[in-house]
Chains A and B, each alone.
Chain A
Amino acid sequence: DAGITQSPRHKVTETGTPVTLRCHQTENHRYMYWYRQDPGHGLRLIHYSYGVKDTDKGEVSDGYSVSRSKTEDFLLTLESATSSQTSVYFCAIRDDRDGNTIYFGEGSWLTVV
């Protein structure tokens, strides 16, 4: 257990509305990530953070923004949700004390109707 909590776990929202997913970690890891999982694509990196207020884009960042104002929280925001953003979203941390292994949260199911 890497001490990662995602919220909400399930959400249904309407097209055009803003949505924020929260990732909370309890073990003071420096690196945090947001991935999405879609059929046929495995997991793809959206954004990541390497410290408070330090973030960078991943391979599918369009339509998403992130913020990290505290070490323990990494927020993913969909400014105006679209149906193509219906997906399962995973938060992850990198454990530098454990061979730089990436550990994942339990996932957040987002449906945009």
Chain B
Amino acid sequence: AQTVTQSQPEMSVQEAETVTLSCTYDTSESDYYLFWYKQPPSRQMILVIRQEAYKQQNATENRFSVNFQKAAKSFSLKISDSQLGDAAMYFCAYRGNFGNEKLTFGTGTRLTIIP
């Protein structure tokens, strides 16, 4: 069974600085999808970024980028120029590609932005 591990329950960063959130996963599959979701106090789950495992290039979305290391099964999220609105819980999630409809989530990292 696939597992997703987020080893940092809480992180904090100064406004305008850069922070990296860690995520590792365990799978025997070769093709899969990885996601980072943001959950602000409103509890809405907002997609931040996604990565297809077959793509070697790391995904980027504005200030958000990932470092995808397939061999190491690592999928970290880098937030540049941190803003107050980035404060939230961040969840890493895994989904297999063939007949596997379940998103497996990590337990989350709570990110605090220090003004």
Residue A72 is within 8 A (CB to CB) of chain B in the complex: no
Partner of B33, one of A43, A45, A100: A100
Partner of A104, one of B45, B50, B102: B45
| A99 and B52 in contact, given A42-B106, A45-B103, A107-B44 (Cβ under 8 angstroms) | yes
Name the residue on B nearest A103 (C-beta).
B47
| A100 and B102 in contact, given A42-B107, A107-B43 (Cβ under 8 angstroms) | no
Partner of A99, one of B33, B46, B93: B33
Output the least CB separation between A61 and chain B (Å).
11
Across the interface, which residues of A come within 8 angstroms of B75, CB to CB? Answer: none
Across the interface, which residues of B come within 8 angstroms of A45, CB to CB? Answer: 101-103
Residue A90 is within 8 A (CB to CB) of chain B in the complex: yes
Within 8 A of B (CB), among A72-94: 88, 90, 92, 94
Whether A99 lies near B50 (C-beta < 8 A) is: yes
Residues of B within 8 A of A (CB): 33, 35, 37, 42-47, 50, 52, 91, 93, 95, 97, 101-103, 105-108
13 further contact pairs, Cβ within 8 A, besides A37-B43, A100-B95: A33-B101, A33-B103, A42-B105, A42-B106, A42-B107, A42-B108, A43-B91, A45-B101, A58-B101, A92-B103, A99-B33, A99-B52, A101-B50
